[in-house]
Amino acid sequence: TPQTWQDRWEGPTDSMQYLRAVISKGKAMQQIATSIKDRDIFSQTINLSDLFRPDTFLNALRQQTARETKQPMDTLILNTSWSGEVKHGKNVSIKISGLQLEGCSFDNGRLSESAPDSPSVTAFPSCYIAWIPRDVGQQETRETISLPVYFSATRDKIVTRLNVPCSSDKDKWLQCGAALFLKNIGSQLLFVCTKSSTVDMDSNSLEVNKRYRFDKKDTTTSIDSNESNDHDNNDDYLLLMDKRYRFDKRYRYDKKRSNFDGINKRYRFDKRYRFD
């Protein structure tokens, strides 16, 4: 990805992934702009992963709250709620989504230990956020832990921090590395796997390598546990979603002799999956 692009928005290093991310976020921003024009932005759920700069959005929400409540910005802290809107005076409450949780699970409205066979990353439920006075917020953080929200799973840049309900033993969640990060869009969830296969050509078994490349959106699936084949009705576990298949088979031939039985054939399979 050219540095001039990264200067405008820090995204994936692969240029194709970068462009797909820009297109996806651009479409989401058009919908948000329409909501603002219709004055119903605060009645909708905002997916933070759709925003180019979610930290700027949260700061704008803080400024709007300070303007509505006539309080200094530095006296406001971010508060969260899973039971409904955060109501305190004239504060501005909004519902957010698009977060993922790593290091533990979130069950029954609080953090819980992950089961041995559960995925390391799970979807984090939508919640309401609002900027409230610091003295009020401190009274509501006794049974919560402040978890960082990172831009990506690499944990190299923080968006904000959210107070998440937990047990009294807060050190346990720090030791397990609990953290939140923005849900990656489909263009960033790119996996490539190569596996060997055998193809029969005129009774001659040829060992080939099949390279599977697919983009996933809003799902977490283990590649090793799924089996794929060259047919449209494959039985892998990715049938959880509506799939569109786009196949691109390329055959490369090295002819050393005119006899087709003696041709050294190299098969390169590139199978791409596109999900809605």
Q: How do the domains of the chain map onto residue ranges?
A: 46-182, 190-275
Q: Which CATH topology does 46-182 take?
A: Hypothetical upf0131 protein ytfp (3.10.490)
Amino acid in position 64: Q
Checking if the pLDDT of 237 tops 50, the result is no
- What are the CA-CA distances from residue 100 to residues 163, 173, 197, 276 (Å)? 15, 16, 35, 19
What is the dihedral sign for C-alpha 131, 132, 138, 139?
A: negative
129 forms bridges with which residues in the sheet?
A: 80, 94
Mean pLDDT of 95-119: 89
d(CA 162, CA 146): 5
Pick the residue with more confidence: 250 or 127? Answer: 127
Average pLDDT of the chain is 71
Query: What confidence score (pLDDT) does residue 140 get?
Result: 61
Contact yes or no for 76/64 (Cβ under 8 A): no
Query: What confidence score (pLDDT) does residue 100 get?
Result: 94
Pick the residue with more confidence: 120 or 261? Answer: 120
**pLDDT band at residue 179 under the 50/70/90 scheme:** very high
Checking if the pLDDT of 167 tops 50, the result is yes
**pLDDT band at residue 138 under the 50/70/90 scheme:** low
* 183-207 pLDDT per residue, tens: 875 433 333 333 444 444 444 444 4
Residue owning tokens 């390279």: 211
Residue 120: count of CB within 10 angstroms of its CB: 12
Checking if the pLDDT of 273 tops 80, the result is no
Contact yes or no for 46/61 (Cβ under 8 A): no
Contact yes or no for 94/80 (Cβ under 8 A): no
Residue 166: partners with Cβ closer than 8 Å, 6 or more residues away: 110, 111, 143, 144, 145, 173
Mean pLDDT of 143-149: 91
Residue 217: count of CB within 10 angstroms of its CB: 16
d(CA 220, CA 199): 31
d(CA 202, CA 76): 74
Which residues in 24-36 are b (16+ Cβ under 10 Å) and which e? Answer: bbeebeeebeeee
**pLDDT band at residue 44 under the 50/70/90 scheme:** confident
pTM: 0.62
Residue 82: partners with Cβ closer than 8 Å, 6 or more residues away: 109, 125, 127, 128, 165
Give percent above pLDDT 90 in the chain.
26
